[in-house]
A and B are shown apart, each in its own frame.
Chain A
């Protein structure tokens, strides 16, 4: 077994140079490590060199009038500590709180979560529903991709082998949103499914996404299309839930049967809409 090298570049230019020098397939990019390290242990990945992003000056986020831009290497715990997050992007705050445990969230990053593209990610379905955009930096400059284009399949993304995820932009066009999940244990477990709903007052339409389905979380426009306006009626919600429960991605695996997943999809869909709809005089 050859020893594995670890490099910890301090600048973006150094990090990109390291990547450019490497033979594709022989390096792994290390962000929080909460997922990558498991693959190294099991030898599912066998890189010669690890490039840690820890020292890059990306680990911060900022709000502006149009939304949130977050650095890919910022730990989830520091986003969680932002008191504006639950007000301005409720579904995203709920998804962050769903990841692992408080200790895990000190290490895990949004960039790592997107780059590793796990099918059961709690963050990707929410970021899909919120129209998040991924900013990639590479030798020829910067490009931005909607997350729906960035995610290709299970563990598969559009990231080039000389590119890094630098930041993620979440527009605040869908202020009413909710993310609900189901698992065996509330902490330290992986969601059997996750349902996000998000409403845009701009066009009066809903977005709906489903996580925990192979090969990757997806938007479900046919289900979202049943919902209209800021307070969809009970029949609309039932129709959306019914449609969602028939999604072909709701299949059996080691975490849940297909029947259980279909029931969960329906129930979580109705509850998520109820949670997202602002209650007059109540808390948001």
Chain B
């Protein structure tokens, strides 16, 4: 059986992918999914966060071939998931983006956290969970409001 990884529901063959290629580079340069951003490339900013099997993951610190058999979701497919859509709407409603570079990472990280913990998780706990996502424009106030709005919007 050929080695594949699923990205936003589509199989991606891994035969041509070098062993040391990062998921971030596969997404952006091999698949043209530029919604996932490269920030620090060292796990310190969260801009490259995607979901792997539903959980937040730093794509700059993941090797594509190690993820064989998993399902990756990027911001391009965030709206296909009810929680992802809710998060995106909350960010829009609260004006939680300024330059927008960190936004895909925040959206995916928060989607992962909400899927894991549900609406029972206090907003403060969700914010702690986003401690690895940096934003240099907003001062985080609008982002914190969006987190709270998304949590309250969960069924």
Contact = CB atoms under 8 A, between A and B. Distances in A.
Interface of A: 3-6, 8, 30, 32-34, 37-38, 40-41, 49-50, 52, 54, 100-104, 106-107, 186-188
Contacts of A187: 131-132
A81 B63 CA distance: 25
A3 B19 contact: yes
Interface of B: 18-20, 22, 41-46, 49, 55-58, 60-63, 65-66, 68, 109, 128-134
A101 B131 CA distance: 6
Given A6-B66, A50-B20, A52-B63, 11 more contacts: A4-B20, A6-B19, A8-B66, A33-B63, A33-B66, A37-B63, A40-B20, A50-B63, A103-B46, A106-B56, A188-B132
A50 B19 contact: yes
Nearest to A54: B66
A54 B62 CA distance: 12
A33 B132 contact: no
Contacts of A3: 18-20
Contacts of B57: 103, 106-107
B86 to A, nearest CB: 20
Given A50-B19, A106-B55, A33 B45 contact: no
Given A6-B20, A102-B132, A187-B132, A52 B49 contact: no
Contact of A107 (B58, B65, B133): B58
Greatest chain A CB density within 10 A among B41, B63, B109 is at B63
A102 B129 contact: yes
12 contacts: A4-B19, A8-B65, A33-B61, A38-B43, A50-B63, A100-B132, A101-B44, A103-B46, A103-B109, A103-B133, A104-B43, A107-B43
B18 A4 contact: yes
A100 B131 CA distance: 9
A107 B61 contact: yes
